[in-house]
């Protein structure tokens, strides 16, 4: 009885061991008696005990291989070190398992030789400025070479380009000189712009000053004109008032019935006002009767 139980347990363990579940993005290579049997994809699978075995589990995700720097020589005989990064994906698990003994070592060596061939046709300056071209050429060459191995190369990138120390120093000096030249050009352009701005500012200031002086002159002229007009108006008003006063005086004399003697005296006063203290000699008619006659005539005229 215990023997039967042990046998049943052993059978259950064997059956369980023959049940396999393949995870997502993986593939199992199954061999039967040492020969390739099939490739299991995602899902539940059963294998024959003893006869079948899972020879390899293959990862179908995109993978990254970072290879160490490789020494290469350019067309102008400059030795430098370049390390590359290869992005690849396994597309055929069977070819990947049976196509090459060590796929990663094969890809590394293939990358190094391809890189040397491409860099050997380029000079130093071209190598430093043609990363994209080198990446494209390497990807195309590696993709063709790894196709029989069930590997697809999606992308190749040059991670670092390390030239010799003396070339690095020369490049740094050249870059420093170029930066200094650009700085000098920028400074000169800035000074030029500053001078232009100052000149434009002075020009605008002169224009504004001239405009201010013009406006000031106009205002002064207008003020002088207004002053003269007001003075003329004042003088005219004063003359008008004097004439009005004289007319009022004559009218009052007339109304009072003044005789010729009074008219003669007023005539003399008129002559005195004409002189206004400025003349030392007053010319009078030979006969005062003439003055009285003139006054009488003027009196009649003013009626």
Is the domain of 21 the same as that of 68?
no
- Percent of the chain with pLDDT strictly greater than 70: 82
Contact 156, 84 (CB under 8 A): yes
At 130 the pLDDT is: 86
Task: Please report whether residue 186 resides in a domain.
Answer: no
Q: What is the pTM of this model?
A: 0.55
Q: Average the pLDDT over 188-211 and give the result.
A: 84
Classified as helix, coil or strand, 74 is coil
Structural domain boundaries enclosing 151: 63-163
Average pLDDT, integer, range 9-17: 81
pLDDT at 121 over 60: yes
Digit-coded pLDDT (tens) for 222-281? 888 888 888 888 887 877 777 777 777 667 766 665 555 555 555 556 555 555 555 445
Does pLDDT of 301 surpass 60? no
Q: What's the CA angle centered on 222, arms 220 and 223, to 5 degrees?
A: 60
**Chain segment 125-148, per-residue pLDDT in tens:** 888 888 899 999 999 999 999 999
Whether residue 254 is contained in a domain is answered as no
Q: How confident is the model at residue 210 (pLDDT cuts 50, 70, 90)?
A: confident
Residue 292 CA to residue 295 CA, distance in Å, equals 5
57-66, 165-174, 290-299, range with greatest mean pLDDT: 57-66
Average the pLDDT over each of 4-13, 38-47, 78-87 and give the range with the smallest value. Answer: 4-13
Q: How far is CA 258 from the centre of its chain?
A: 102
In a domain, 51, yes or no: yes
User: Is 202 a member of any domain?
Assistant: no
- CATH number of the domain residue 98 falls in: 3.30.479.30
Query: How many domains does the chain fold into?
Result: 3
> Kind and range of the H or E element at 151?
strand 151-162
Measured between alpha carbons, how far is 27 from 95 in angstroms, rounded to an integer? Answer: 12
User: Over the stretch 22-59, which tens digit does the pLDDT of each residue have?
Assistant: 999 999 999 999 899 999 999 898 888 888 889 999 99
Last residue of a domain, one of 14, 40, 59: 59
Asked if residue 179 belongs to a domain, the reply is no
How far is the CA of 79 from the CAs of 124, 161, 236, in angstroms?
Answer: 9, 11, 110
Q: Give residue 113's pLDDT band: very low, low, confident or very high (50, 70, 90).
A: very high
Query: Does any domain span residue 222?
Result: no
Q: Is the pLDDT of residue 13 over 70?
A: yes
Residue 206: pLDDT above 60?
yes
Co-location of 141 and 159 in the same domain: yes
Q: What tens digit of pLDDT does each residue of 153-172 get?
A: 999 999 888 887 777 777 77
Q: Are 35 and 53 in contact (CB under 8 A)?
A: no
- Same domain for 49 and 70, yes or no, is no
From the centroid of its chain, how far is CA 62?
41
pLDDT band for 64, please (50, 70, 90 cuts).
Answer: very high
pLDDT on residue 299 = 47
Please state, in angstroms and rounded to a whole number, the distance separating the CA atoms of residues 29 and 35.
Answer: 10
Query: Rounded to an integer, what distance in angstroms lies between the CA atom of residue 96 and that of residue 27?
Result: 11
What does the pLDDT average to over 67-82?
Answer: 88
Identify whether 46 is part of a domain.
yes
Q: What is the pLDDT of residue 87?
A: 95
Tell me, yes or no, whether 76 and 31 share the same domain.
no
pLDDT value for 302: 47
| Segment (H or E) for 288 | helix 288-301
| pLDDT at 199 > cutoff 70 | yes
Confidence of residue 107 (pLDDT cuts 50, 70, 90): very high
User: What's residue 298's pLDDT?
Assistant: 47
290 and 272 inside one domain: yes
Sign of the alpha-carbon dihedral angle for 110, 112, 113, 116: positive
Which residues are CB-neighbours of 299 under 8 A, at least 6 positions away?
250, 254, 263
């Amino acid at each position: 009885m215990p023997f039967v139980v042990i046998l049943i347990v052993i059978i259950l363990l064997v059956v369980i061991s023959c049940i396999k579940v393949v995870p997502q993005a993986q593939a199992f290579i199954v061999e039967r008696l040492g020969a390739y049997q099939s490739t299991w994809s995602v899902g539940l699978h059963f294998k024959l005990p003893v006869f079948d075995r899972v020879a390899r589990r293959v990862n179908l995700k995109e993978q990254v291989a970072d290879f160490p720097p490789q020494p290469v020589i350019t067309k102008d005989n400059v030795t430098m070190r370049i390390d590359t990064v290869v992005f690849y994906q396994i597309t055929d698990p069977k070819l990947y398992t049976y196509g090459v003994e060590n796929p990663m070592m094969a890809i590394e060596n293939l990358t190094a030789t391809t890189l040397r061939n491409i860099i050997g046709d380029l000079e130093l300056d071209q190598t430093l400025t043609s990363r994209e071209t080198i990446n494209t050429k390497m990807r195309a060459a590696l993709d063709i070479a790894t196709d029989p191995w069930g590997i697809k190369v999606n992308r190749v990138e040059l991670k670092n380009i390390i030239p010799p120390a003396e070339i690095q120093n020369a490049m740094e000096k050249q870059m420093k000189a170029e930066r200094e030249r650009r700085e000098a050009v920028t400074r000169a352009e800035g000074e030029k712009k500053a001078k232009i701005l100052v000149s434009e500012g002075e020009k605008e200031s002169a224009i504004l000053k001239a405009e201010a002086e013009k406006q000031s002159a106009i205002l002064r002229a207008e003020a002088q004109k207004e002053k003269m007009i007001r003075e003329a108006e004042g003088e005219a008003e004063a003359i008008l008032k004097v004439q009005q006063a004289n007319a009022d005086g004559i009218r009052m004399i007339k109304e009072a019935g003044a005789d010729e003697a009074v008219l003669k005296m007023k005539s003399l006063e008129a002559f005195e006002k004409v002189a206004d203290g400025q003349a030392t000699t007053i010319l009078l008619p030979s006969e005062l009767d003439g003055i009285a006659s003139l006054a009488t005539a003027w009196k009649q005229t003013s009626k």
